[in-house]
A and B are shown apart, each in its own frame.
Chain A
Amino acid sequence: MNKKKPTHSVETIFVLMLFALFALSAILLTGTGAGVYKSIVLHMNSNNDFRTAVSYITNKIHRNDIEASICISNNGESDCIMLIEEIDNIPYCTYLYCEDGYLKEYFARLGQEFPASGGTDILKVRSFHVEKTDSRFLTITIVTEDNSKASFIVYPKSNDMKHDFIENIRGDAP
């Protein structure tokens, strides 16, 4: 009379397999989600860094678009844009350059020495390169923190390169 109860091993295995499938899918889904999120954040930061640099530098140059006021200087690893303006007949200079992994800005009296590391940090960049192209444009190349390289053009209307960009002039570019 003592009849043994059937074990239903197929049912048990099926449930276990379903559970394993759930667990595996959950792990895969989390992994995929993390990958997608990482990619989005990376692109977003890269876009943001580059757009900030483009807007900042372009607006700085256009704001200072006065004849004989925009100079470029190359000193070793990084280039420097020098924007000269006169305040109460005293020449001042805004230096835009890359130092210690940052795009920096430094405002000082022209000719006055300054420590390159003393500028205000604008944003993180790996390198900053400026060159004149077609004798009237400034082509600025930036490598952002995630190693993406991009270039943009700025046309200083006043200079029009009749007056060529002065290189390594008065002032102490970093």
Chain B
Amino acid sequence: MKTKSSLFLTELIIIIFFFFISVAVCLRLFATAHIYDRKSVELNHAVVFAQNISEIFYSANDNELDMITRYLFNDDNSIALIRDDHSFSFYLNENFIPINASSGPYKCITSVDYDTDFVYLNLRFESHINPKSYYCVYEASTKKNIKEVRIHEE
């Protein structure tokens, strides 16, 4: 009788063990799916935002960064920008709209480089939802020919 009870208990313990393993695996799968889902939405927003900035970049004959900041922030200088001569960064909300804050869920780092023939626009979008482990959502670089711009100006 004692043997029968302990056998039954062992069987139950094994069942509960497999049950918890299955729950852990399923929850992990759902969590991973949720993360990928969020990443795809982030990527989509970032690509559209990058395309918008690139269109503004193409429209500027010079002072590309001034043009981009002016368009994005409607001449609102109070927007929290970390800026130097060739780059600036700002934060965006969860809908990828620039916000006047020194931190936010997403960060956009924009920089412009020059060489003899081309102007390069470099964009980097970072997710700061978890500030301790931020990651790059999207990175893009685009260029335009300076000669083309000069011809266009003439």
Contacts and interface: CB of A to CB of B under 8 A. Distances in A.
Nearest to A133: B71
Contact of B37 (A21, A40, A137, A153): A40
Contacts of B58: 155, 157
B144 to A, nearest CB: 10
A136 B12 CA distance: 72
Interface of A, secondary structure class, is helix
Contacts of A47: 40-41, 44
Q: Which of A18, A29, A155 has the most CB of B within 10 A?
A: A155
B8 A11 contact: yes
B52 A152 contact: yes
Interface in A5-32: 11, 14-15, 18, 21-22, 25, 29, 32
Interface residues of A, number: 31
B129 interface: no
B55 A155 contact: yes
B8 A33 contact: no
A36 B145 CA distance: 46
Interface stretch (B15-23, B103-111, B113-121): B15-23
Contact of B55 (A18, A29, A154): A154
B134 interface: no
Nearest to A40: B37
A153 B55 contact: yes
Contact of A51 (B15, B33, B44, B71): B44
Interface in B34-62: 34, 36-37, 40-41, 44, 47-48, 51-52, 55-56, 58-59
Contact of B15 (A18, A33, A154, A157): A18
A134 interface: yes
18 contacts: A15-B12, A22-B19, A25-B23, A29-B23, A33-B26, A37-B33, A40-B37, A47-B40, A51-B48, A134-B71, A137-B59, A137-B71, A152-B51, A152-B52, A153-B51, A153-B56, A155-B55, A157-B58
Interface of A: 11, 14-15, 18, 21-22, 25, 29, 32-33, 36-37, 39-40, 43-44, 47, 50-51, 54, 58, 134, 136-137, 150, 152-155, 157, 160
Interface of B: 8, 12, 15-16, 19, 23, 26, 30, 33-34, 36-37, 40-41, 44, 47-48, 51-52, 55-56, 58-59, 71, 152
